Structure 1
Amino acid sequence: MPCQIFTLMCRGTTICHVATSGLCIRRQTVVTEIEGDIDSIPLHSFEFVNFKDLRSRCGNNSLLTDVLGHVVDVREIEGVKKRSRLLEICNASIRDLRGKVVGVTLYRDIASGFFEDMLEKGQGASVVAVFTGMAVDSSSSVCSTTSSEYYLDLEIPEVQEFRANLLIQQGNPVPEKTPAQKLAESWRTIEQLKSLDPEEYDEDTMFLCRVSLIDIDCSNGWCYLGCDTCQKSMYGAPRKYKCARCGPIKRPVQWYKLKAKVEDATGTMDLIIFCEVAEELVGVSAKELVDNIEEDDEWYALPEEIEDLIGSTHTFQVFDKYVNGSFAVRSIMDDASVPPPAGAASDCKEKADPEGSQKPSKRLRGDDDSIN
């Protein structure tokens, strides 16, 4: 973060030299000017956070974040009402060298200042921006705080290195791939999914895999009561249900949460299948199956409609929401319209159906302790 350098003294004793964007100076604090080679002290100091690491800072107001990126979009100033006050807001987007885009929302004076400076730079300018003291809204967006500052094309080693690599990329542009090409390159076997390097993808990256369902664990049930808007699970409150994100909910909804074990010719793994995707797979809503439950132990036994899925084979588009190797199904693909694997993934589809796989006989699910 941008800083000024001070020597802090408490009751005549030097504590330390502090570099910070803000100081709390008390009555016992003595501020003295540093003597000597002042020119060797850097005027700026930052702790840049990689875009893919923003998720770990979501909602943590105790951490302010510095980000660096190429400005790819700046929108017009808008007026937004907040607590009966009209605030100026400017939305922009910056991109890192890996192509990930993060949204930047600026408020008040910093919004108008940034917009005017970008206008002065011109539409054709290639600007590298530094935003400091930002709060992280989500894994792909940050917003300004009262401590925030911005710097355009700052002469520091990090920006110079970024710009040098950016110029190399711009001088050797990679042809834009079509959606079909991207889809074809996303094929993975189970073995490949389990050996992915988290540094090479993020929570928005989708992969195709063709797998067979071999078990569904219902030891903790197969559905949950959730918010009708954001699908998060409810918690009970006196005389009403409440969602941690949306607040009180009048009509909570029964949503599927299927903890499936799947296999292909390369191995087995766990997949979570949620909500509407699971409903598409099962063919009926979770509410319809819940309405047929008569005894408590039926919550922990698979309904026939779900058990009939055991042994079936599907092409799923999966993602790793927390980039920790726990994959969930984003969508069920139509095999007739899915492109064949491209390049190194060319054998993914052929390896999907294990030789000699058989549909297991019906039983109560959830007795396989190997599913975590």
Structure 2
Amino acid sequence: MCYLTNNVPETISLNVSGSLTFSTTSANKVYINPEVDHVTSIKERFSALSIQAKPIQGTSAAKLTPEEEMFINRMTVDALVKATGAGEMKESVVTLKATITGINSGQGWYYIACRSCVKKAEFENGVYVCRSCGTLEYPLALYRVKAEVQDRTGTTTVVMFNYPAENLLDTSAKKLLGKMKPGDDSVPKELNTLLGKELVFKLKLDKYNLIEGLQDYRVSTVFTPVEGLEAVYAQKEARKETACQSGPATSSNTVLTTEDKKKRKRSSCEEDASQELGEDGSQELNEAQ
């Protein structure tokens, strides 16, 4: 800390053309770290405190490896569409392994966004305007790719915004847009290279999916399936399905009623499902955008 005071008389010596001259004038004087009672008391109070850094504990999902993330609440297309359509979906994050069969260009493959909040900007009176941040001097072109995907159970639509789409295509929307002629609304050939690719989509479901039962599921991350891991997962699911269908083993001396069998079978399946979730670490906390 320093104080600066004015009008302190000082004698100044100057060497002008080889001649030494002296003059007296008002000058500034700087005091470095002066002893001030108020400041000293504050320093003493803070020096008595014990300062320790406390780590911020993340959610269990943040600790998952990519290999584990690929199987979080894995569902089929049919199961996902039925669960969201009926309002029975309890998870907000699921994964889906499916093949891209089409690119929907009806609403375009990109959007113009605000550089600050990344929300969609509107073109008004020759300039782009963000409803939250105002007029934009340098708007961004970001991906919004709506794709049709299919697995053995059915077909649905997913939406890939900038992060997953750019990682998948290994180029920016701005670069693709720069290659196109003004007014050209067609889908770039780079996007068509995605057709036929089988991928694992990590989906972040929102109120439109969970409450209104709409599709167009938002993709947060895209993975390339790992054959060995997929085989292990398929075997595990097959064993679980077999156990649920056959029910628990009983003694030959035990006679169960039909209702007892149903209760035991349901309990066994629920217990197996609970154990699978615990082993795979596939429960994830809901997150806000």
When normalised by structure 2's length, the TM-score is 0.51
Matched, 1:346 2:237: yes
**Matching residue of 1:198:** 87
1:333 matched to 2:223: yes
Tell me the number of residue pairs that the alignment of Structure 1 and Structure 2 aligns. 168
For residue 242 of structure 1, the aligned residue among 129, 136, 152 is 129
Contact 2:198 2:225 survives alignment (8 Å): no
Partner of 1:146: none
CA-to-aligned-CA distance 1:153-172 (integer Å, 9 cap, x gap): xxxxxxxxxxxxxxxxxxxx
On the 8 A contact 1:316/1:332 being kept in 2, the answer is: yes
Quote the RMSD (CA, aligned, Å). 3.1
Alignment partners' CA distance in 1, 2:158 and 2:181: 29
AA aligned to 2:141 is Q
Name the CA shift for 1:345/1:228 in 2 (closer, same or farther; >3 Å). farther
Aligned-partner Cα distance in 1 for 2:136–2:146: 26
Is residue 103 of structure 2 the alignment partner of residue 212 of structure 1? no
| Match status 1:224 vs 2:106 | no
Deviation at residue 266 of structure 1 after TM alignment: 0.6
Cα 1:272–1:182 shift into 2, 3 Å: closer
Match runs of 1:267-278 below 5 Å: 267-278=154-165
Structure 2 residue matching 1:216: 3-state secondary structure: strand
- In structure 2, the residue matched to 1:306 is 191
TM-aligned CA deviation for residue 185 of structure 1: 4.9
- The CA distance in 2 between the partners of 1:194 and 1:294, in whole Å, is 38
* Residue pair 1:183, 1:339 contacting (<8 A) in 2 also: no
What displacement does 1:280 show? 1.3
- Matched AA of 1:304: K
- The answer to whether the 8 Å contact 1:258/1:278 transfers is yes
1:145-156 aligned within 5 A: none
C-alpha distance in 2 between matches for 1:338 and 1:209: 17
**Letter paired with 1:243:** C
State whether structure 2 residue 175 is matched by structure 1 residue 288.
yes
Q: What is the alpha-carbon distance in structure 2 between the residues aligned to residue 320 and residue 345 of structure 1?
A: 26
Report the Cα offset of residue 233 of structure 1: 0.9
Match of 1:233 in 2: 120
Judge conservation of contact 1:185–1:343 (CA < 8 Å) in 2: no
Partner of 2:285: none
- The 1:216/1:182 distance shift into structure 2, 3 A limit, reads closer
1:266 and 2:174 matched: no
The answer on whether the counterparts of 1:188 and 1:207 sit within 8 Å (CA) in structure 2 is yes
In 2, are the aligned partners of 1:258 and 1:274 still within 8 Å (CA)?
yes
Cα distance, 1:191–1:283 mapped onto 2, change above 3 Å: same
By percentage of residues, which structure has more helix? 2
CA contact (8 A) 1:188 1:208 kept: yes
Q: Which runs of 5+ in 1 are unaligned?
A: 1-175, 348-372
Query: Cα–Cα, structure 1 residues 216 and 329, in superposed 2: closer, same or farther, change >3 Å?
Result: same
Report how far residue 214 of structure 1 moved. 0.5
Once residues 200 and 69 of structure 2 are traced to their aligned partners in structure 1, the CA distance between those partners, rounded to angstroms, is 16
> Percent same amino acid at aligned positions?
23
Q: Tell me if the contact between 1:188 and 1:345 (Cα under 8 Å) persists in the aligned partners.
A: no
3-state secondary structure, aligned to 1:191:
helix
Work out which of the two has the higher radius of gyration on C-alpha atoms and give 1 or 2. Answer: 2
Indicate the SS of the match to 2:187.
coil
Identify which of structures 1 and 2 has the higher relative contact order when contacts are C-alpha pairs closer than 8 Å and 6+ apart.
2
Q: Structure 2: where are the runs of 5+ without partners?
A: 1-59, 239-289
The separation in 2 between residues aligned to 1:223 and 1:334, in whole angstroms, is 23
| Partner Cα separation in structure 1 for residue 72 and residue 147 of structure 2 | 25
In structure 1, C-alpha distance between the alignment counterparts of 2:179 and 2:237, rounded to whole Å? 45
Contact preservation (8 Å) 1:234, 1:244: yes
Q: Does the aligned pair in 2 maintain the 1:228–1:252 contact within 8 Å?
A: yes
C-alpha distance in 2 between matches for 1:237 and 1:219: 22
Indicate conservation of the 8 Å contact 1:232/1:243, yes or no: yes
CA displacement at 1:242 relative to structure 2? 2.1
- The code of the aligned residue for 2:218 comes to A
